[in-house]
Structures are given as C-alpha cells and as structure tokens.
C-alpha cells in the first residue's frame, strides 16, 4: 500500500482522541499519507471538482460512523476505492471495525489479510410528468420518497419492470440495498439482509393499509415509484443527502448499479455478531461468559459517540 487517504470526522471527541496515533501508525506503513481532518468539507470539495484515476489512493481509512462512510462513498462513487471504516459513531454497520481494534485492522490490511466486501449500490433517475429527466443519483444504502413535514399522507405507485405492484397511501416509501436494510428500512419494519446478498427492499413508511408489508425484490428489478397524489411537496433523499423535489405525476426509477463499492472488514468478521452487538441482541438474561460485570455496558458494543443513521 503506497498511497493512503485518511478521512477523520474531528467533530467527534473519540476521533480527536486517537487521530494523532492513527496518523503516526499509517505514516510508518505507507509512502504517502494524505490526512483530511474535516471529512465532510473535503468530501464535498472532491465531489464537486472530481478526482482522476491518477490521484486515487490504494485504500481509504475513515474515522467516524456510518454517516462518515456514506459521505466518503458519495465522494468516490465514480471511482470506488477499498475503504476501511473505524467506528466512532453509534451504530457501525458500515464502519465495522471497533475503535479499540484499529491497529490490528490496519495491520491486516497491509498484510493482505483484510476481507473485501463488495457492496451492491443503487442507481436512481428522477423524471418529471413529461418524462424529462431532472436528476440522477447513486446510493449505497437507500432512496427515500417522503411527504413534506406539514402535508398529510400521499399516494405512491410502485411498478416492478413494468408490472404494477401496488399503490401505497403512506408517509413514504424506501427502496434499500442489502447494506441499507439495517438503516431507515429496518426502522420502518423492513427485513435484515446479509450485506453480501443482491436484492432490493421496498419498505412503506406508516402505510394506511395494514396489509402492506416490506418486500424483497429481485436484484435485476427496475422499480418505478410514481407520485399519484400529494398535498404539497414530495422529497427524495439519497443516503440521507441531496433532497430532490417531486410533484404529482413525477416518478423515480431505481435499479441495481452496475458497479459495487468495496468495503474492507476484518478477516474474522462475523456478520451475525455485528448485528447482535449493534442491535443489542442478547438472547439470554445471563451475562456473557467473558463479560466483566463491573465493566460499563458500552465497552461490549463500542457504539462510539455522536452519530446514528
């Protein structure tokens, strides 16, 4: 690994506490290290000006939470780079490395032992009522069509590759990737999917009809969401960013992006352990065999500080 980019969300106290040590550790292991201490500002600059293949690093290391990972992925969406996330946020499904294991995780990357997790992404195109395209976007997690804060319920239609699925009278509709199945979709009652899977999850938000349930669609599905009726503005959010306005008659088409995004994980990474830790699943009221009853509960799950999806 000759060239490394380090993105740090220094607004988090936990990031500031380890940043100097992480920088020194990486400088000993690579020829060139570029440190970005204002993650969101630097990613926005990179996204606007673009980056050439010659400028790309061999890997990216992110100190932050899942929101930090999404910000970096958005900046490098055209030219994906293997990305290692060290979790100092609340959840850590995307930033999968515990903050107390950052040295071991970096060693595994440089020793060629890290696991590459190619994550499916979504591509979306928004059209007006007259079929003129008004915006396009790429998502790692999800796309959300939702009503405005002051409006009542709206009606959305969902088609799958030309076949009508249903009309939803609801507060909104989420189309999620397997990575995004543990984000907004999960909060709205959607299923958890293994991150290595391929598939699209359609999850309605507070549907009026109790029979409407989340659905897992074929990965080759072309999903079209149309605004049938709405009292006011409808917005589209992509990975929590970039709100695009929609009106009655507009539609958004979502499909599998042709290229995955490579996230890095530790070789012994257990996705079920990750789910149990992140969601607080115990399965028993008995303490874990290796748990010190005098330890603070946060030490077991290492949720970090200050960020959640």
Domains in the chain (CATH in brackets) are 3-113+270-301 (3.40.50.10330), 122-256 (2.60.200.30)
For tokens 């290692």, name the residue: 84
Task: Give the single-character DSSP code of 182.
Answer: G
What percentage of residues in the chain have a pLDDT greater than 90? Answer: 72
CB half-sphere exposure, 140, CA atoms < 13 A:
30
Span 273-309, pLDDT tens digits = 878 888 888 765 565 555 444 444 443 434 333 333 3
Task: Give the single-character DSSP code of 284.
Answer: S
- Write out the two tokens for 179: 């990575």
- Say whether pLDDT at 179 is over 60: yes
User: Which alpha helices (DSSP H) does the chain contain, by range?
Assistant: 13-27, 39-49, 66-75, 102-110, 184-187, 271-279, 298-301
The pLDDT confidence band at residue 270, using thresholds 50, 70 and 90, is confident
For tokens 């149990």, name the residue: 276
Span 47-84, pLDDT tens digits = 999 899 999 999 999 999 999 999 999 999 999 999 99
- Say whether pLDDT at 150 is over 90: no
11 by Cβ neighbours in 10 Å (0-12 / 13-18 / 19+) ranks as middle
Span 34-49, pLDDT tens digits = 999 999 999 999 999 9
How far, in Å, CA of 15 to CA of 23, rounded?
12
Average predicted confidence (pLDDT) for the chain: 89
CB 195 within 8 A of CB 230: no
Span 80-110, pLDDT tens digits = 999 999 999 888 899 989 999 999 999 999 9
- List b or e across 118-155, with b for residues whose CB sees 16 or more CB atoms inside 10 angstroms: ebbbbbbebbeeeeeeebebbbbbbbbbbbeeeeebbe
For tokens 């490395």, name the residue: 97
How far, in Å, CA of 16 to CA of 238, rounded?
29
Query: Catalytic annotation on 100?
Result: no
User: Which alpha helices (DSSP H) does 123-214 contain, by range?
Assistant: 184-187
**Which pLDDT value is given to residue 69?**
96
* Residue tagged active-site, from 66, 142, 171, 239: 66
- Write out the two tokens for 26: 């990486």
pTM of the model: 0.87
**Which pLDDT value is given to residue 285?**
53
Span 205-244, pLDDT tens digits = 999 998 999 999 999 999 999 999 998 889 999 998 878 8
């Amino acid at each position: 690994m000759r060239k490394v980019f380090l993105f740090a969300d220094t607004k988090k106290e936990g990031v500031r506490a380890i940043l100097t040590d992480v920088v020194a550790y990486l400088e000993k292991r690579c020829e060139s290290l570029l440190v970005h201490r204002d993650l969101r500002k630097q990613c926005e600059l990179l996204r606007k000006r673009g980056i050439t293949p010659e400028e790309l690093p061999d890997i990216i290391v992110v100190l932050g939470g899942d929101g930090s990972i999404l910000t970096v992925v958005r900046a490098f969406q055209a030219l994906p780079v293997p990305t290692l996330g060290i979790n100092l946020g609340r959840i850590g499904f995307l930033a999968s490395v515990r903050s107390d294991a950052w040295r071991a995780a970096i060693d595994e990357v440089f020793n060629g032992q890290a696991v590459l997790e190619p994550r499916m992404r979504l591509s979306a195109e928004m059209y007006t009522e007259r079929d003129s395209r008004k915006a396009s976007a790429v998502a790692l997690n999800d796309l959300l069509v939702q009503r405005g804060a002051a409006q009542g319920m709206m009606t959305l239609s969902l088609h799958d590759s030309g076949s009508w699925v249903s009309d939803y009278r609801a507060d909104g509709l989420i189309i999620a990737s397997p990575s995004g199945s543990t984000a907004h979709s999960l909060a709205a009652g959607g299923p958890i999917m293994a991150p290595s899977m391929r598939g699209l999850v359609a999850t309605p938000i507070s549907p009026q009809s109790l029979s409407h349930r989340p659905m897992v669609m074929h990965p080759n599905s072309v999903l079209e969401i149309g605004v049938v009726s709405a009292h006011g503005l409808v917005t589209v959010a992509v990975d929590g960013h970039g709100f695009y306005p929609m009106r009655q008659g507009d539609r958004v088409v979502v499909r599998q992006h042709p290229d995955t995004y490579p996230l890095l994980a530790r070789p012994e990474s257990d996705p079920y352990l990750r789910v149990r830790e992140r969601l607080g699943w115990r399965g028993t009221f008995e303490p874990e065999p290796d748990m010190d009853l005098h330890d603070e509960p946060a030490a077991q799950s290492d949720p970090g500080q200050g960020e959640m999806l």
